[in-house]
Structure 1
Amino acid sequence: MAGVKLLGFWASSFAYRVIWTLKLKGINYEYIEEDLRSKSQLLLHHNPVHKKVPVLLHGDRAVAESLVILEYIEETWPENPLLPTDAYERAMARFWINFGESKNATFFQFFKSAAGEEQEKAIKETVEILKIIEEQSLGDKKFFGGEAIGLVDIAFGWLAYWFEGIEEAVGTKLLNSTTFPRLQAWIQNFKQVPVIKENLPDRQKLWAHSKRFRESLIQ
């Protein structure tokens, strides 16, 4: 098998999506940490369009964008599948993955919004998205696809860890057990999966990074 390398950044939830998937699949890989303030020639060469992490290197092939990478891994290494075998269920999984990705701009607006009308609007829109995920996608299931972790969980995995840092940076708690009991139960289930539990960035370091990044955006 051709060698596998992953270009990532320690605080990137997008890079962790790929890390979790590789580990759940049992794929050996070399991790290469990128300094995003001084991007390596390796990164610029293999992702000349976006110049971002993550980038998966598989032999002489380079695959960029986290969700594209997850699909590539799933198709290249079909063992330990993370998408349903049923065509309809697989389509529904992709629907919710795409839904979550399409709302990144709203979540980012919540993260960088200042106090006042702008923040109130961002909070309202973020809560509406979380309600849709809670009521329409997750339901009463342990994971988004049922009893086992899958690609939808991995795509939403940042909500289980990174979102708390965002809330702390903003100073507003949205994802609580009273309003979102199903999402909170899912968060606990997700973080107890050994591969997830053993592969998360340091909490305090990540929270401090989130605060610094937010401050740089609103100055």
Structure 2
Amino acid sequence: MSTEVKLHGTWPSPFSYRVIWALKLKGIPYEYIEEDLSNKSLVLLQHNPAHKKIPVLVHGGKPICESMIIIEYIEEMWPHNPLLPTDPYERSVARFWIKFAEDKGPAMWIVYRTSGEEQEKAIKDTLEMLRAMEEDGLGRDKKYFGGDNIGIVDIAFGQIAQWLGVIEEVVGVKLLEAHKFPRLHAWIKSFKEVPEIKLNLPDRDEMLVFFKSRREVLLASLQD
């Protein structure tokens, strides 16, 4: 029996998990298809010929690409258990922070895959992102970015909750220090306590092995 909703992803990717979290929070059944990015399936290439990347959601045979676009689609297609605020102004604020996450989030991955001056700049950019999240995104007395309930902005920033700590350990830097970012640390705790998140996170030990090995390969390629 075929599943109406299918998700093509890969386990180490926070962008795959964004979509998984949204589907789980809305209680939407789906079939997950693990992709080998070193040997991409013909189905993936057919569904995302422009970028040839995961995640790809296939609903009723129609593919939707890019994690946050997929989540907006999910929100519109299944409006129950809303992830976006109903108020137009609050929606605009949420979309601002989604854009911020998309624009600034790559800095932490540059920290991971580089060294030297390029890495130093990426560390500075990542710290600026974290400060903005701490001081402006969360503000005072906010459990989640949208208030008391988990929402789309929390999903957009979800890589901070699990992947940033792995990057810190692999690279040997400390960015998200508890005494400097107490609100972010409280948010991470709250975020990871949500059952749909807690039960759908990649294993940290497996992540460490994968990302350590991958970084060694990346740095070696830069020296060739």
Please classify the TM superposition score into its range, dividing by the shorter chain length.
Answer: over 0.9
The TM-score with structure 2 as length reference comes to: 0.94
- TM-superposition CA deviations, 1:19-64 (whole Å, max 9, x none): 0000101101011111111100110110111111100000121001
Aligned residue pairs total 217
Q: Which amino acid aligns with 1:63?
A: I
Would you say 1:78 and 2:76 are equivalent positions? no
- Tell me the distance in 1 between the aligned counterparts of 2:148 and 2:96: 19
- TM-superposition CA deviations, 1:130-173 (whole Å, max 9, x none): 10111011112000000000000001011000111111111001
- Tell me the distance in 2 between the aligned counterparts of 1:117 and 1:66: 30
Unaligned 5+ runs, structure 1 = none
Partner of 2:126: 126
Partner of 2:101: 100
1:6-155 counterparts in 2 under 5 A?
Answer: 6-114=7-115, 116-140=116-140, 141-155=142-156
- Tell me the distance in 2 between the aligned counterparts of 1:177 and 1:104: 19
- Tell me the distance in 2 between the aligned counterparts of 1:81 and 1:217: 39
User: CA contact under 8 A between 2:105 and 2:126: conserved in structure 1?
Assistant: no
- Tell me the distance in 2 between the aligned counterparts of 1:35 and 1:210: 15
Partner of 1:198: 199
Instruction: State, as a whole percentage, how many aligned pairs show the same letter.
Output: 60
Instruction: Give 1:218 deviation, angstroms.
Output: 1.3
Instruction: Indicate the larger mover: 21-30 or 119-128.
Output: 119-128
Partner of 1:177: 178
The TM-score with structure 1 as length reference comes to: 0.96
Instruction: Give 1:120 deviation, angstroms.
Output: 2.6
- Tell me the distance in 1 between the aligned counterparts of 2:125 and 2:44: 35
Instruction: Indicate the larger mover: 57-66 or 121-130.
Output: 121-130
1:57 is paired with a residue whose SS is: strand
- Tell me the distance in 1 between the aligned counterparts of 2:105 and 2:148: 26
Instruction: Give 1:112 deviation, angstroms.
Output: 1.8
- TM-superposition CA deviations, 1:194-214 (whole Å, max 9, x none): 000000111100111111121
Instruction: Give 1:92 deviation, angstroms.
Output: 0.4
- TM-superposition CA deviations, 1:5-25 (whole Å, max 9, x none): 000101110000000000101
- Tell me the distance in 2 between the aligned counterparts of 1:126 and 1:200: 22
User: CA contact under 8 A between 2:131 and 2:181: conserved in structure 1?
Assistant: yes
Unaligned 5+ runs, structure 2 = none
- Tell me the distance in 2 between the aligned counterparts of 1:182 and 1:217: 33
2:135 is paired with a residue whose SS is: helix
1:56 is paired with a residue whose SS is: strand
Instruction: Give 1:216 deviation, angstroms.
Output: 1.7
- Tell me the distance in 2 between the aligned counterparts of 1:99 and 1:147: 21
Partner of 2:161: 160
